[in-house]
Structure 1
Amino acid sequence: MVDVPAPPAVRIEPATPADHADIAELTVAVYVGGGLAGPDYGAELADVARRAELAELLVVRDGDGRLVGSVALVLDGEFGEVTESDDEAAVRMLVVDPAAQGQGIGALLMTECLRRARAAGKHRMVLSTSTVMTAAHRLYERLGFTRLPERDWSPVQGVDLLVYALDL
């Protein structure tokens, strides 16, 4: 695994209910507005309260306290979607504000998820990502993730998801 230093003047912390609206707005804007997901997925992306019930929701704030990234870490339960055993954790809905992209925030969130999964006794991190999310693919590969093509899947017709994994 690659150790990723925090970008200057940012902090990572658990999300609070006060963050939910900002997380929803950012996630829908990046995924749907950025053409990474269809509008039909927008309602699920915006349902941050449900996501917080099913996963550990983490955020990154910049030096001014502004939310610039978020991710859902799934340590158990069906929200992981691609987990196949209790030894696996998953991440979902990784998002970084476009104005903050390229500053290591996605890597910081992923590294924190890996640390937390290890601390929870998990042996593998898995995730699924759209075929069009090429920047995310590069991030995952830099962090040591490899493809698990045998676990690729389609949640709905016309949406093909690639599965990546990293042994912890």
Structure 2
Amino acid sequence: MGPPSSLVEGGRRPLSYPCGRLRAMDFTIGPAGPEEYDPLGEITAQAYLRDGLLDFGESDAYLGELRDVAKRAATAEVLVAVADGRVLGGVTFVPAGGPMADIARAGEAEIRMLAVAHAARGRGVGEALVRACVDRARTVEGCARVVLSSQRAMRSAHRIYERLGFLRTPDRDWNPLPDLDDITLVTYQFTL
């Protein structure tokens, strides 16, 4: 099966959503099904743990949130990348605010919890998931921007965002745990 037919700048081919799963290189991206929730939750938790992004390791309260894909899917859209029946990674797309939004304002969609299995890194999975969110945002009526928060240490993700045209928005940086000064999240936005 060939890549999607429409082109964007630089000759890159966008993924389309929500019309089912589409092929991107050697994997497909589409809405997560219930059978994919547990594998994606574990990939997300392990990505944060192995990359040293949780302050308290296995005892970090946020770890439960990372593993609870069913909860995310009940209030937002969860996309997964799959190859040969294996979940490679996923992302949560929050259209037009909602309970999963951290920083989205009116006219903005938000990307949350982008994670790729360690064994699948370097294959373009993270970039394809972010592109799928941008493509999805273009279908949301009144959506003008896509926003996201990221930890300072997530440099690989930052390179993806910047390569795709996301811009840093330091005026929106924020701290989810005000009692801990060193937890400030950096923010990005992409104007549609």
User: How far apart, in 2, do the equivalents of 1:123 and 1:27 lie?
Assistant: 28
Equivalent-residue separation in structure 2 for 1:108 and 1:37 (angstroms): 25
Is residue 155 of structure 2 the alignment partner of residue 138 of structure 1?
no
Structure 2 vs 1, CA of residues 138 and 21 (structure 1 numbering), >3 Å: closer, same or farther?
A: same
Structure 2 residue 44 is matched with structure 1 residue 27: yes
Residue aligning to 2:79: 58
Match in the other structure for 1:160: 184
The aligned residue for residue 132 of structure 2 is 112
Say what the alpha-carbon RMSD is for the aligned residues. Answer: 1.5
The alpha carbon displacement at 1:4 in A equals: 4.4
Give the distance between the partners of 2:81 and 2:130, measured in 1 at CA: 11
Q: Could you list the runs of 4 or more consecutive aligned residues of structure 1 that deviate by over 4 angstroms after TM superposition? A: 4-7
CA distance in 2: counterparts of 1:68 and 1:53, whole angstroms: 21
Relative contact order, higher structure (CA 8 A, sep 6+)? 1
Counterparts of 2:156 and 2:80, CA distance in 1: 20
Q: Secondary structure at the match of 2:138?
A: helix
Structure 1 residue 139, shift from structure 2 partner = 0.5
Per-residue CA deviations over 1:44-68 (Å, capped at 9, x if unaligned) read: 1111111111210000111x12100
TM-score (norm 2): 0.82
Larger radius of gyration: 2
User: Match for 2:109 among 85, 89, 96?
Assistant: 89
Q: Which residue is equivalent to 1:10?
A: 27
Q: Distance in 1 between matches of 2:49 and 2:175?
A: 18
1:77 aligns with 2:85: no
Distance 1:4 1:140, change over 3 A: farther
Q: Which runs of 5+ in 2 are unaligned?
A: 1-7, 15-22
1: CA distance, partners of 2:24 / 2:138: 22
Determine the C-alpha separation between the residues in 2 that align with 1:22 and 1:129. 22
